[in-house]
Amino acid sequence: MGHDRPESGSYTFPAFDDHHPPEKDLIDDCVHCGFCLPTCPTYVLFGEEMDSPRGRIYLMNKGLTEEPMNDTMVRHWDLCLGCMACVTACPSGVQYDKLIEATRAQVERRYERRADDKAFREMIFQLFPYRKRLRLAAGPLRLYQRFGLDKKLKKAGIMSRLPARMRAMEALMPKLGKEEKIPEHTSPRARGVSGSASSPAVSSSLLLSGQLRDRTGPRRRGLRGRSTQEPGLLRRALHPRRA
């Protein structure tokens, strides 16, 4: 999907400015052993070196030394999911998280995205982190599914004319059933979890299911389950707005 993204033609030299570029020392920690490659979902999917942690670090080094920031470079960094599977797999302790975080901030400042790319990204950032907005969007989508509009659009050939990203989103959309109301507080026993919440096993189970999260800590709207390395998220974390 990302590989056929239209290019903006943006070209910035040098690739990085002096405001927190990816650190050369951290880049040099990578010994190019390749242990991280099988753990990286984008490498497994595309089989392309530049879509692996090693390849992305190589591109960061190129950006620091000689190459301009351009479409190809940014596309490989954009395709990184930020899952950090490579960090735990790396025997040399490469801090890929710090590297990609610094790189992404530079990309947001120095790379000129196409208008449609900007709009798509803004739509993602304005919709998915906010549960109220998602709930609002779910209404029309439920009708869309109930009346079988997806099949009708496919039959009329309209779906195939939509941008690849929209088609992918449509294909990934879950089947939306009747909205389930989840109470503010739920009893662990009532939800099928027995034992004390203070036991590590039960705590992690609650944490993973989101139940513990709703009982503890401040509610930072728009940040649940997301990495602050995503562009603009740290700012939003520090200055949360109401959805």
Positions that interact with ligand SF4 (CB under 6 A): 30-36, 39-42, 53-54, 56, 80-86, 90, 92, 94, 96
- What CA–CA distance (Å, rounded) separates 139 from 159? 20
- Closest to ligand SF4 by CB, 41 vs 240, is 41
| Residue 72 CB, nearest approach to ligand SF4 (Å) | 16
Buried b (16+ CB within 10 A) or exposed e, 100-128: bbbbbbbbeebbebeeebeebbeeebeee
- Closest to ligand SF4 by CB, 75 vs 133, is 75
- Closest to ligand SF4 by CB, 96 vs 130, is 96
- Closest to ligand SF4 by CB, 33 vs 207, is 33
Task: Please name which of 143, 146, 12, 129 lies closest in space to residue 69, comparing C-alpha atoms.
Answer: 12
Helices (H), the chain: 24-28, 41-46, 53-65, 71-78, 85-89, 96-110, 115-127, 131-146, 149-155, 164-172, 200-209, 211-215, 233-238
| Residue 5 CB, nearest approach to ligand SF4 (Å) | 17
Strand partners, 11: 70
- Closest to ligand SF4 by CB, 54 vs 110, is 54
- Closest to ligand SF4 by CB, 39 vs 211, is 39
Contact 30, 85 (CB under 8 A): no
Cα R_g (the chain), whole angstroms: 21
- What CA–CA distance (Å, rounded) separates 78 from 60? 13
| Residue 91 CB, nearest approach to ligand SF4 (Å) | 6
| Residue 108 CB, nearest approach to ligand SF4 (Å) | 17
List, in order, residues 6 or more apart from 228 with CB less than 8 Å away.
234, 237
| Residue 53 CB, nearest approach to ligand SF4 (Å) | 4
| Residue 101 CB, nearest approach to ligand SF4 (Å) | 11
